[in-house]
Structure 1
Amino acid sequence: MSTRPQTLPWQTSTSAALPLLTRWSISLARARRWEFWPAWLFYIPIIGWILLLGLRFRSPTLFTAANPAMDAGGVVGERKHEVLEPLQRNAPDLVATFTLIRGGDAAARVDAALAHAEITGFPIVLKPDVGQRGRGVFIAHDTHAVREYLQRFDGDVLAQRYVEGEEFGVFVARAPGEAQARILSIVHKTFPAVTGDGQRSLGALILAEARARLIAPLLWTRWAQRLDQIPAAGERVQLVDIGAHCRGALFLDARHCATPALIQTMTRLTDAVPGYCFGRIDMRCPSPDALARGEALQAIELNGVTAESAHIYHPDTPLREGYAAMLRQWRIAFEIGRTNRARGATVVGPFGLLTRFRDDLKRSDHWF
């Protein structure tokens, strides 16, 4: 089954609908697995914990000082290029090469992206400079896709080299003065796929595969135009290509990769970005073994305070373990924020944060 020409997300038809009983069955199965709970539901106890920490540390938003290199510590609305640029400058071997494409003339933007693609080759990754949870991230395989993306979305965009290999998220913490970075979490991001048998349609294969079935509503929209196509026997169809849990990626606990060699590499990476102290670094690497050796990794994004210790989304992780990791994470954010504030870092107040969250809600209407 050919996956070309490329279907762009905003061109996908949503006319294909899952049968009602199937939707109910999937909803029930998702409700029993907390990794699929709505974010607002999962975060109720965590918000309570953040409020308690605010009282304990005598500053409700002290965590916004945890990353002086990022606006508001990377809570919301931070610009990706502001931390990727020093990394590209100081440790270019540790980052996927990127170009910042400012808003403005559409033709000039397309030319800039294509110039980047000429250097790195296709595919390239296009994503908004300000965005969260995989919003607006798109892998462009050809000139047409680049042109469509940049003509439709006129905000600041990063054009980044697409890195082959497997995707990981390494959550680090490093208070000022600490000799080495600490690794709080490692997640291995994998992408659900189905294998054709030459008889069943793509839609039937999705519903027959245990993991894919759980995200069938998402996949039904993405693959709406191809659900009736029959993949050849042995043909592998990768259903997801963006490493975001909300976009369908499967997250696996990979904390066993937290070796001294990886800690050394993550320390060098954080050295290259002054003021980056706390957050999850998303990267590509040839394999878990290469990651454990701290070799051949390429950072694709540096996330701030509100990034998650994403190993908790490993299937069947007990809820109490998920909360324990998140509560620890937020305590450390407050502790590092306190240290940075004492060294002159800015703490953004509650009203400043509310304004940033309001602006982010507006952006969510702009990006797919």
Structure 2
Amino acid sequence: MLKKFFERLTNWELWPFALIYFPISFVWVWYMIRSRAFWFFTPSNPTIAFGGFEGEGKKEMYDQLPPHTVPRTIYIMHDLSFEEVKKKLELAGFTYPFIVKPDVGMKGILFRKIDSEDQLKKYHERIPVEYIVQDLVELPVEVSVFYFRHPSAQKGTVSGFINKELLHVIGNGADTLQQLIANHPRAKHRMLEMQHRHAHRFERVIEKDHIFYLSYAGNHNRGAHFTNLRNEIDENLHHVFDELSHYSKHFYYGRYDIKTTSIEDLKQGKNFVILEYNGCGAEPNHIYDCNMSLGEAYREILKHWKALFEISKHNNRHGFPYWNFQRGYRFLKQSQQHFKLLQKYD
């Protein structure tokens, strides 16, 4: 227990989000003052609610991307009868397995891989909000690309490029799942979450060399491991994301989560699927798992905040006003209530 505590104390990446960001929060406040707007970021992506900071629906995002770049997706109201859900799946041509997640979701909460009708029925009966059914994209490489572009410029900047490895353990034919988790460098710090998700499997001995995924959400807060691919950033990669930015007209700042056959194919603009586009609330997650000091991470975050401020200021001057305090407050309050509801049922 003491060893775990010392690891968390000395590794800033394991600190709570609020603790990491508190020392630089005055910069965010300074941008509010300069903009004379509490929600100065809202025009950054003007066609997404709240600029994509929080609480936006996935439909908003998917509708603004090239259709061939996003997974097949249908939307399910939580109060439909299960027979109606099955009919919708059949009409859309879905077969098991597939992915389900809330239309308005965050941090991988209620993200599930569904392998059977029984699993879907339990999920549908439990989830309290509209959700999406989506193809399980099984391309071998999962990456995140952070991109921003000033609205007056034709070309933008790929500021971050990482490979994602989902949180998993590998069986040795002797240890139980609980033992494998307890010995995993990241999963051991998430034992409460692991108990919630996998307690019914804890006594199972995982076969030798079998990969057991503890989470299918490729988020840092869900334990995914990142590998920095900054050396792969080149003109070809910039060209792909410049084209996406111009296609959607007003995607100026955010992070794309993508699956692809290979890094080279992505650079050629082929064989990739966009799982998510995260707007101005997206964290530059390339600060993690790349041996950055806390000071270096702060410099990277502040670089992105400056770009966010400049993009938002320009858009505010060109027909996309800042949200007023009342509007933003109401939206954020609703979003936080929604988030608490999702957490309750996760």
Aligned to 1:151: 125
Is 1:340 the counterpart of 2:318? The answer is no
Aligned to 1:32: 10
1:254 CA drift (Å): 2.0
1:364 to 336, 339, 344: 339
- For residue 159 of structure 1, give the secondary structure of its aligned residue in structure 2: strand
1:299 CA drift (Å): 0.5
Distance 1:93 1:235, change over 3 A: same
Please give the alpha-carbon distance, in whole angstroms, between the structure 2 residues aligned to 1:362 and 1:194. 34
Percent pairwise identity: 26
Is 1:110 the counterpart of 2:85? The answer is yes
Q: Letter of the aligned partner of 1:146 in structure 2?
A: L
- Tell which deviates more after alignment, 188-197 or 162-171: 188-197
Distance 1:156 1:105, change over 3 A: same
Deviations 1:223-248 (A, max 9, x none): 21111111222322222221111112
Q: Letter of the aligned partner of 1:265 in structure 2?
A: V
Aligned to 2:48: 70
Is 1:94 the counterpart of 2:69? The answer is yes
Where do residues 188-227 of structure 1 align in structure 2 (5 Å cutoff)? 188-227=163-202
1:308 CA drift (Å): 0.7
Distance 1:320 1:296, change over 3 A: same
Please give the alpha-carbon distance, in whole angstroms, between the structure 1 residues aligned to 2:240 and 2:323. 31
Alignment check: 8 A CA contact 1:113 1:146 kept = no
The number of aligned residues is: 342
Q: Letter of the aligned partner of 1:29 in structure 2?
A: E
Please give the alpha-carbon distance, in whole angstroms, between the structure 1 residues aligned to 2:117 and 2:327. 40
Deviations 1:272-327 (A, max 9, x none): 32222111111111233433444311111111111011001125321111111111
Is 1:263 the counterpart of 2:238? The answer is yes
Alignment check: 8 A CA contact 1:102 1:157 kept = yes
1:102 CA drift (Å): 3.5
Q: Letter of the aligned partner of 1:131 in structure 2?
A: G
Alignment check: 8 A CA contact 2:167 2:215 kept = yes
Distance 1:365 1:332, change over 3 A: same
1:280 to 249, 255, 263: 255
- For residue 64 of structure 2, give the secondary structure of its aligned residue in structure 1: helix
Alignment check: 8 A CA contact 2:167 2:222 kept = no
Alignment check: 8 A CA contact 2:31 2:40 kept = no
Please give the alpha-carbon distance, in whole angstroms, between the structure 2 residues aligned to 1:233 and 1:102. 41
Please give the alpha-carbon distance, in whole angstroms, between the structure 2 residues aligned to 1:365 and 1:29. 29
TM-score (norm 1): 0.86
Aligned to 2:208: 233
Aligned to 1:7: none
TM-score (norm 2): 0.91
Please give the alpha-carbon distance, in whole angstroms, between the structure 1 residues aligned to 2:309 and 2:111. 30
1:345 CA drift (Å): 0.6
Distance 1:286 1:56, change over 3 A: same
Is 1:127 the counterpart of 2:101? The answer is yes
- For residue 365 of structure 1, give the secondary structure of its aligned residue in structure 2: helix
Alignment check: 8 A CA contact 1:114 1:143 kept = no
Please give the alpha-carbon distance, in whole angstroms, between the structure 1 residues aligned to 2:301 and 2:165. 22
Please give the alpha-carbon distance, in whole angstroms, between the structure 2 residues aligned to 1:100 and 1:339. 35
Q: Which runs of 5+ in 2 are unaligned?
A: none
Deviations 1:317-347 (A, max 9, x none): 2111111111111111111111111111131
Distance 1:280 1:237, change over 3 A: same
Q: Letter of the aligned partner of 1:128 in structure 2?
A: P
Please give the alpha-carbon distance, in whole angstroms, between the structure 2 residues aligned to 1:63 and 1:304. 10
- Tell which deviates more after alignment, 250-259 or 298-307: 250-259
Aligned to 1:85: 63
Q: Which runs of 5+ in 1 are unaligned?
A: 1-20
Aligned to 1:46: 24
Please give the alpha-carbon distance, in whole angstroms, between the structure 2 residues aligned to 1:289 and 1:213. 35
